Amino acid sequence: MNQENEKISFTEAIRWQGRSWKVLGSLCPSLFISGILYEVSNAAIPLVEVWLSARILNELVSERDPRILFRLVVIQLVSSAVLAAGRALLLRWKNYEEAVCSQGVEKIYIDKMIGMDFENIDSQYVYDTYSQICQSDNWGGWGLKDSIYRTAQMAGQLARIVGGVGLSVTLFASKVPVDGGYGWLNHPLCLVVILGILLFVTLFSFVCSDKANGCVDKASGEIMLSNRFFAFFGNMCTERERAADLRVYEQQENVCNPYMERMDMFRRGGVLAKTFAGPMGLWNGLSASLSAILTGAVYLFVCMKAWAGAFGVGSIAQYVGAITSLFLGLTNLLRSLGVMRFNAAYLKNTFAFLDIPDKMYQGSRPIEGTADNRTAAGKGLPDQPASNKEFEIEFRDVSFKYPGSQDYALRHVTMAFKMGRRTAVVGMNGSGKTTFIKLLCRMYDPTEGQILLNGVDIRQYRYSDYIRLFSVVFQDFVLFALPLGENVAGVKDYDRERVKECLEKAGFSRRLDKMPDGLDTYLYKDLDKEGVEVSGGEAQKIAIARTLYKDAPFVILDEPTAALDPVAEMEIYSKFNDIIEDKTAVYISHRLSSCQFCDEILVFDQGRIVQRGSHQILVADTKGKYCEMWTAQAQYYQDGEQKFAPL
Ligand SMILES: Nc1ncnc2c1ncn2[C@@H]1O[C@H](COP(=O)(O)OP(=O)(O)OP(=O)(O)O)[C@@H](O)[C@H]1O
């Protein structure tokens, strides 16, 4: 990131800042208003207080009129109370808006990720860009969030400058009596020298703090990489799914700790410590000493003018406060501009992520009969998914390479799904079965060839309509830590009877009876401490029920019974026809005996369909791949039977 930062010019930084204002302005306009008002009040309140205090002090050392003094003290007290209360209210408003906006910014990324072309999710570039955003946010709130705070702070700094100028004008305008020997203080050169010192110290102090920031900037690449390692190994050690492996293979000691120890960054005497204690500390120290020198110079000048009789002693506090405010405002404004430029590199990365083009799901052709019928209200609507007889899908000479891969995962696949029929897809590991399903669901588009729905290229259809044609249990399906019923229905407002029916068909009814809150029982404990843990097989049954509830014309089951016990597996197979009804079913399994009930079996080998037909036909071809796999499996079972039969 530091190399990026070097390349970003100030004009470009303003461009990225402008873009972020546009995004944030529509996302959380109230945060801009509350943030700016809060920072301005923060800058203005001390100036008001110092001005009133100066009036009181001047009165004390001059006329000492009790009525005026009383009035001034009351004004001071009331205004302090009102301003403090106003600032507290503004802070409350700003904090609230910040929390809302922070969620909004996260939502921007979530929406982008969810709406993204599936193939992009797999891409290394997307992964890197997104991790960079998360890391910079975790590390220092860099990116969109910083751009909001920076804007508000700059407004506050401007207010400090304006206030400082306003309160210090009379310092330069008021003349000392010429006969006291201090007449030279009225000389315009004196004003020029004082302003020159102010300007020089401001600029030099800015340069010092910029150098100090530069030290962190230089280390930022390493810091983020270390953060990434730390987060990765740190999270790994706390993941429940890894707990067993970590213990059995002592991975904490052998993998996590050595990696974390190798990271020099956060250790005593490491890169970060050296950066803070070394040049960065020195630059910051120099900047602070210069500020002190400036304050000293201002005190001297102001006191001399007061001594010479240009104004009352009370005004000393006002002028010192005003000049300090002016100096702080100027330095911090310059610093903020520098930080804005620094942050531009993170904004650039953020927009590189948000601008990743989504090309895949551009089709607009509607598919009749594909309304979402999962809600309770949706059930029974005339626009439910029509019978599968209306949908025929054909692969026409489809070949496919994963993005960035040189090898074809599928080669010249040509086939059509016969309506209402069951198709089994079998093959060795890595032969292309899951890839075939991913293309069918349009997670990816073919590299060559076409997939057609009712004779039309599927790219032309509206994706939301197209995906409603499928119910899929993926090999690596995931359930939500939400109530069981919502997991099955995929919506909050669902038809409870239908969910129960689907769970029963999937063989989950006995477990459902034991669920403390029935369909309302939370799965896992992430969101509810009373949530229940389900076994791998039970989770698979819930995933099958989810498939049934969706009631789509195509049902795809990728290794649907891999985690089921033999009884549950047998139940699913014996009820398979009832479960699937008249839908088109695609079934991937390594257990060839379970494919026998299918009308057609497609045998994949190295991305090609090398055989197709019914079990009887395929098994009869003794030189074919299917027969080879079948014999290997049958052998295993026969051996087993021989071994265990006597028992
Ligand atoms: N995201 C990916 N990027 C690159 N290559 C991939 C990706 N996913 C799979 N592959 C490759 O594509 C080929 C086919 O994989 P696929 O997952 O379709 O096989 P499969 O037949 O389903 O295997 P299994 O029986 O083990 O589930 C494999 O060589 C695999 O390494």
Q: Which domains does the chain have, with CATH numbers?
A: 2-174+311-354 (no CATH), 388-477+551-644 (3.40.50.300)
Q: What is the CA radius of gyration of the chain?
A: 36
The low-confidence residues of the chain, meaning pLDDT below 50, are 1-5, 380-389, 640-647
**What distance in angstroms lies between residue 436's CA and the mean position of ligand 1's atoms?**
10
Q: Among 402, 444, 472, 609, which is best to mutate for testing ligand 1, by the most ligand atoms less than 8 A from CB?
A: 402
Of all protein residues, the one whose alpha carbon is nearest to atom 24 of ligand 1 is 429
Which pLDDT score is estimated for 580?
A: 78
* Alpha helix stretches (DSSP H) within 263-358: 271-277, 279-307, 314-354
Q: For residues 386 and 370, what is the distance between their CA atoms, to the nearest angstrom?
A: 7
Instruction: Please tell me the distance from the alpha carbon of residue 611 to that of residue 574, in angstroms, as a whole number.
Output: 26
Ligand 1 first shell, C-beta below 6 A: 122, 402, 405, 409, 427, 429-435
Q: Take atom 2 of ligand 1 and give the residue whose Cα is closest.
A: 402
Question: Could you tell me the distance, in angstroms and rounded to a whole number, from the CA of residue 477 to the centre of ligand 1?
Answer: 16
DSSP H stretches of helix in 575-624: 576-580, 615-620
**Which residue has the least CA distance to atom 3 on ligand 1?**
402
Predicted confidence (pLDDT) per residue in 42-87, tens digit:
999 999 999 999 999 988 888 788 899 999 999 999 999 999 999 9
Under 8 Å between Cβ of 147 and 31: no
CA atoms of 69 and 90, how far apart (whole Å): 31
pLDDT of residue 637: 62
User: How remote is the CA of residue 439 from the centroid of ligand 1, in Å?
Assistant: 12
Alpha-carbon gap, residue 46 to 606, rounded angstroms: 75
Position 2 scores a pLDDT of 46
For ligand 1, atom 28, the nearest C-alpha belongs to 430
How far is 644 from 469, CA to CA, in rounded Å? 45
Q: What is the pLDDT of residue 373?
A: 63
Ligand 1 pocket test, candidate residues 125, 401, 435, 447, most atoms within 8 A of CB: 435
Cα(247) to centroid of ligand 1, in Å? 30
* The pLDDT of residue 640: 46
Order of all β-strands in the sheet with 422-427: 470-473, 554-558, 584-588, 422-427, 600-605, 608-613
What is the CA(122)–ligand 1 centre distance, in A? 13
Which own/partner contact pairs does 113-117 have at CB distance under 8 Å and 24+ positions apart? 115/358, 116/356, 116/358, 117/358, 117/359, 117/360, 117/361
Please state the atom number of ligand 1 nearest to the C-alpha of residue 438: 18
The Cα 516–Cα 520 span in angstroms is 8
Nearest to 388 by CA among 362, 374, 413, 369: 369
- Under DSSP, the state recorded for 123 is -
Pocket test for ligand 1, best of 126, 413, 433 (most atoms within 8 A of CB): 433
Check: CB of residue 558 under 8 Å from CB of residue 407. no
Contact 78, 198 (CB under 8 A): no
Distance from residue 191's CA to the centre of ligand 1 (Å): 77
| Pocket mutation for ligand 1, best pick of 124, 411, 431, 603 (most atoms within 8 Å of C-beta) | 431
Q: Which atom of ligand 1 is nearest to the CA of 604?
A: 21
Structure tokens at 386: 């029509």
